[in-house]
Amino acid sequence: MLALGLAQGTAVAEPAAPTAGDGSRTAAADDPYTAAFLTQYGKIKAAANGYFSPDGLPYHSVETLMVEAPDHGHQTTSEAVSFWMWLEAAYGRVTGDWAPFNAAWTVAEKTIIPQHADQPTSDAYNPSSPATYAPEHPLPSGYPSALDGSVAVGTDPLATELAASYGTMDIYGMHWLMDLDNTYGYGNKPGTGGESGPGAGASFINTYQRGAQESVWETVPQPTTDLFAYGGPNGYLDLFVGDASYAKQWKYTNAPDADARAVQAAYWAYRWASEQGKESQVAASVAKAAKMGDYLRYAMFDKYFKRVGDCTDPSSCPAASGRDSQHYLLSWYYAWGGAAAGSGGGWAWRIGDGASHQGYQNPLSAWALSNVPALTPKSATARSDWSRSLTRQLEFLTWLQSSEGAFAGGCTNSWEGSYSKPPAGTPTFYGMAYDWQPVYHDPASNNWFGFQAWGMERVAAYYYVTGNATAEAVLAKWVAWASGETTVGADGTFRFPSTLNWTGQPDTWDPASPGSNAGLHVSVVDYANDVGVGAAYVKTLTYYAAKSGDEDAAALAKALLDAMALNTTDKGISVPETRKDYNRFDDEVYIPSGWSGTMPNGDPVEPGSTFIGIRSWYRDDPDWPRVQAYLDGGDAPVFTYHRFWAQAALALAFAIYAELLVEGGGEPGGDTEAPTVPGGLTVTGTTADSVSLSWSAATDNVAVTGYDVYRNGVLAGNAATRTFTDTGLSAATEYRYAVAARDAGGNTSALSAAVTATTRTGGGTGTGAVKVQYKNTDSSTTDNQIRLGLQVLNTGSAPVDLSTVKVRYWFTADGGPSTFGTYCDYAALGSSTITHAVAAVPSPKAGADRCLEVGFAGGAGTLAAGASTGEIQLRINKSDWSNFDESDDYSRAANTAYADASKIGAYVAGALAWGVEP
């Protein structure tokens, strides 16, 4: 069936057959699914097919007359860009050519990732005052929403750390929406920070700012940099926010699922390039993905950095400090903005979001960002944040799984966007209220089966890579449900769910005893054959089958893939769609009484304006007569669309099926041998809220790539080395741990013998809830200075007064005078807040007759729970500048990136809180 499907349609230029030319391994070109990938890739990249703009970005669709999340086909989304990155990664695997993958990242940095000129006043951002509160309202008619400075907002714990890591206060993330043909005419061109008006060139734009009921048909588009050139006297700002006065400004919104998919693409690129011995060719792009993952953590925080959990009144819900505002899920968005350059007065703001959707979670990216060294972000707390996020995402999906197997919507920390009280009896997840349709309601956000397939594809990929038992359990149940609702006919017809209906609620989450969700149910309202959704569904089945050996899932993946291939066109693979929703072109767009303005083309914006009325240029589209005939009473128009994300997803489905179920999955030469079981699991330390573990190495026929650590039978985190510290625990509580090893083929060992550990009760030695990380900044062991970097992290749940903290680095004087010079070259907290001096060790030990004692002056303040001091760069020299011999120094290590340092002591109020003394 596949070959017949691919034989139809007009031939297009295709890339050369895969050949590395340098002896490295690339994919086989002679299997039909790799050939199908190359055919689909060739159609997407053929210039005549019109998938890419003159600036090199993928359009949302080839066709222009399209209204869905973007309101025009020649806009683009960060989602499309992330699919492009993944497509080019797959091309690199098949051909060994990594230039297109790197080019995608280069284009993204020049376009959809705002440059400094696009966010010119980021340096004015104050992490202690992230934004002014404005409540959301259920309907567009509730806007503009008045700013309310009387509602307390929390502090941002990421900004200082990120600035220290990257030397800038700019945000590194993709803005979600661009107008690639500048159809609206704002001319917010990347890299300019201005409005050049109508004309060629891509333009930043935004929509959706007026509550959950605002559909795409009710939006008022606006420029991201609003210089009051268009709209009304205050640009478009006073349609959304009520204020006493308005300032010209810039603002951007990030779609976290897209940035997470970009990280996911980089993980596959790194893995595949490494298999070819070409990891150096993608290293720079992979580092960009790691940086993006660092900033993506803003999606883990409540919108106004308020406390997460039981936040049911805007005034009484407390402003959070440290990590109390962090829910560790991927929320619907994060956003940032500030004063326009030259507008007078510097200011900037940042917000997260408390609403999280099941379809946005990405455990594979969370795992990669916390386990793959090439993807580990620079910031001190990023790895632990992503490790905790991985566990929280898996818990979230377990909590939302219905009796049948599909996943209900999500949760929110701010009911109706205004920290209101949810209806009585609403179940909660870590204190956040269940919402069956989080974020938007027209249409209901979790009624689309596509969010099921998108989300499960990521879970299945994570399961394939790690063999995680929790992922396997939720997948097995979901695959059984979805498969039972799927039909593939002998004639190549196919259908799977389209619209879902939800009844009941999940049980309130108890991590120690998850409920069965016996009262939460899903039913299928109607079915469809959307090829983009089908591609995600096939990828889910393929990953799951390749790891689990489920032959039925593998067969269904093949049947769906073959059936979709029958719908080939000259531009890709697509099926006709009847668009009954296009009767909404005449929908009224709410404009407040008394407001009036104009669009760049002169269309009036005023009470009574309609969707088409402020987009009159749609009437010039060559496909408009079909829509007009429908509006005049005719039949609903039928379109055959070529959405970029869907066409890329189809190509990827072919490539992944070829890789896992044709080339290697279970066939001779595929790696199916699991690593040996790790031995020697030992508890190496405890505090009031943490347990440290170590174990001996497992072995594998190829290579062990990491370890999974289970606490009380639930995944607690992952480790790339043979040590792990589990944090955020309860005091005086017993925990049971076991470890499994995994390899690059996705095989996982059985669990090790278990050990138990009991956290301390608090108070006394070892309970200070801080830890020290160290890096070596001087590779020489025999020069006249000792150079090191330190940072202190608060691993507890309460702030720590830094004036009570001392850090000791032990070394040997190696003869010479007894006096020393000490220097703090840099500190994120300010060098003036750091104290430092060398002291003699009362009872010298091997490798330690002196210690550098580092402290904090009163101006350093407190260290919030979960926060880091940031980097502290230090130097020591003898007064006569004679050489040291650091080779035997107790605290010295060779690592040049920050890592936990157990041979450096930290003391809180004089009691040892971290480390092992010599």
Is residue 491 part of the annotated active site? The answer reads yes
The set of residues, in sequence order, having a beta carbon less than 8 Å from that of 147 and lying 6+ positions away, is 132, 133, 134, 241, 242, 243
Helix (H, G, I), strand (E, B) or coil at 437: coil
Q: What is the DSSP letter of 384?
A: H
| Contact status, residue 372 vs residue 267, Cβ threshold 8 Å | yes
| Terminal Cα distance for the chain, rounded | 70
- Give start and end residues of each alpha helix (H) in 298-422: 363-371, 382-400
Taken in order 234, 240, 244, 246, is the CA torsion positive or negative? negative
Region of residue 732 (left: phi > 0; alpha: psi -120 to 50; beta: else): left
* Strand-pair category, 638-639 with 682-686: unpaired
Closest by Cα among 696, 708, 693 to 746: 708
36 is written with which tokens? 């199908």
| Contact status, residue 383 vs residue 725, Cβ threshold 8 Å | no
| Contact status, residue 502 vs residue 446, Cβ threshold 8 Å | yes
Inter-CA distances, 331 with 130, 389, 478, 745, 905, Å: 18, 12, 22, 31, 37
- Of 71, 324, 491, 689, which one is the catalytic site residue? 491
The set of residues, in sequence order, having a beta carbon less than 8 Å from that of 175 and lying 6+ positions away, is 78, 112, 113, 114, 204, 206, 224, 252, 253, 254
3-state secondary structure 655-689: HHHHHHHHHCCCCCCCCCCCCCCCCCCEEEEECCC
CA 611, 614, 619, 620: dihedral to nearest 10 degrees? -140
538 is written with which tokens? 């096939």
- Give start and end residues of each alpha helix (H) in 525-677: 531-548, 551-565, 624-631, 644-657
Closest by Cα among 607, 612, 600, 592 to 223: 600
| Contact status, residue 329 vs residue 413, Cβ threshold 8 Å | no
Distance between CA 592 and CA 143 in Å, rounded?
8
Inter-CA distances, 259 with 223, 297, 465, 495, Å: 22, 11, 20, 30
Compute φ and ψ for 546, nearest 5 degrees.
-65, -35
93 is written with which tokens? 């695997």
Distance between CA 471 and CA 465 in Å, rounded?
11
Which residues are identified as catalytic? 491
